[in-house]
A and B are shown apart, each in its own frame.
Chain A
C-alpha cells in the first residue's frame, strides 16, 4: 500500500497547455505539501495545506494553483505551461504542521514541457 501516491508519474506536454497532478495520502495525516525539484536536484517548497487550509504559499507564479478537496488529497493544477516548469514535483504529507514533523514523500511526477 503506497502511503503517498502521485499520478501521473511522468507527464510530457507542450508549452501553453494546462495540466494537473494528483496526490493522495492514506496515512491519515492532516498536512500536505507540494515541492519542486529542479534539474540540479534543488528541492523547494511551493505550498502547504493543513486540514484543507492553505498555510504556506511560497513565491510561485499564479499559474500554479493547488486544491485540497479533503485532508487526504492535494492536487496541483498548472496553467499555460512554460519550459521552465519542467521539473520533478513531489507531494508530501505529515501529521501536524509543526516545524519538527517528519514529511513523507511520494515518488514524484516528472514533468517535461516541450
Chain B
C-alpha cells in the first residue's frame, strides 16, 4: 500500500525566505501525488498535483513541487514566503489503479515570521 512521509511537523521561515516542505512517498509504482493546504478552521484546498505529465508541477499561490523518482520525493517549494502562507500543508498519494482513495501524510505546519 502506498504512503507518504512528511519530514518536520513544524517549519518556520521568515517572510520573504524560501519555503521548503518535504514529502517522500512509498509506492510500488509511481503514484499520483498531491499537496493540499488547510487554513485554520477550514477544509483542505488543492495546491497542486502530479499525474506523470511533467515532473515539475506548478500550483496556486506561487507554489511548485518536483517529482523525483530516484529519491521518491515530492517536495513543495515557494521562492518567497508570505504571511498568508501560514497554514497546515498535507502531502498525499493515490494509487493509479481503482478509485480515488487518497492517503494523506501527517501534515506540516508552516509558520511565517514577520
Number of residues of chain B lying within 8 A (CB) of chain A: 26
* A107 and B41 contact, CB distance less than 8 A: yes
Could you tell me if A102 and B46 are in contact, using CB atoms closer than 8 angstroms? yes
Size band of the A side of the interface?
20 to 34
**Which residues does chain B contribute within 8 Å of A56, judged by CB atoms?**
99, 101
User: Are B97 and A99 in contact, with the CB atoms below 8 A?
Assistant: yes
* Chain B proximity mask over A90-103: 1 for CB below 8 Å, otherwise 0: 10101011111111
A98 touches B88 (CB 8 A): no
Q: Given that A4-B43, A100-B32 are known contacts, is A48 also in contact with B106, CB under 8 Å in the complex?
A: no
Q: Which of A's residues lie within 8 Å of B, judged by CB?
A: 4, 31, 40-45, 48, 50, 55-56, 90, 92, 94, 96-108
With contacts A44-B104, A99-B32 known, what are 15 further pairs, Cβ within 8 A?
A: A41-B88, A42-B104, A90-B44, A92-B43, A92-B44, A96-B100, A97-B100, A99-B95, A100-B94, A100-B96, A100-B100, A103-B46, A103-B100, A107-B41, A108-B41
